[in-house]
Amino acid sequence: MKFDKGLIAGSSTLLVLALLEKEDMYGYQMIEALARRSNDAFQMQEGTLYPILHALEKEKYLSSYQQQAPTGRQRKYYRLTKKGKRLLDEKRTEWAAFHKGVEDVLSGGANALSYS
């Protein structure tokens, strides 16, 4: 299923932070992990990912380092900072409240009034 770009844009920071919660990753690895973890629901492009990574790094939510891959190529790995972990927690809380609100509207809500 193809998603509205606005839906993806609003959740892309949360997705990137969640990818880095358990391990450091380089860009292409994040793209692959996001596709795999979402059963290919999310196909993030490099042109979307790297501006997010650079903005998060600039704000000190991420740090980065270079490491040589087994192929000999240098890769830039990203990791969550303590500040980034706090942001991830905030984004998760925000997402849960948003998700609940959407579900409440879609289901008619517990306090929905009938206007028949």
Residue 111 is assigned to a structural domain of this protein: no
Residue 113 is assigned to a structural domain of this protein: no
**What is the Cα 97 distance to its own chain's centre?**
17
Residue 15: is its pLDDT beyond 60? yes
- CATH (domain of 59): 1.10.10.10
Strand order through the sheet with 25-26? 25-26, 74-80, 62-68
What's the pLDDT band for 24 if we cut at 50, 70, 90? Answer: very high
pTM of the entire predicted model: 0.85
Kindly state the tokens that stand for 22: 């358990």
Burial class (CB in 10 A: 0-12, 13-18, 19+), 20: buried
What's the pLDDT band for 71 if we cut at 50, 70, 90? Answer: confident
Residue 112 is assigned to a structural domain of this protein: no
What's the pLDDT band for 42 if we cut at 50, 70, 90? Answer: confident
Residue 39: is its pLDDT beyond 80? yes
> Which residue in this structure is represented by tokens 């849960």?
96
Specify the DSSP class assigned to residue 113. P
Residue 23 is assigned to a structural domain of this protein: yes
Residue 1: CB atoms within 10 Å: 4
Domain range enclosing 43: 5-106
Residue 113: is its pLDDT beyond 60? no
Span 62-73, average pLDDT: 93
Residue 11 is assigned to a structural domain of this protein: yes
> How many domains is the chain partitioned into structurally?
1
Residue 114 is assigned to a structural domain of this protein: no
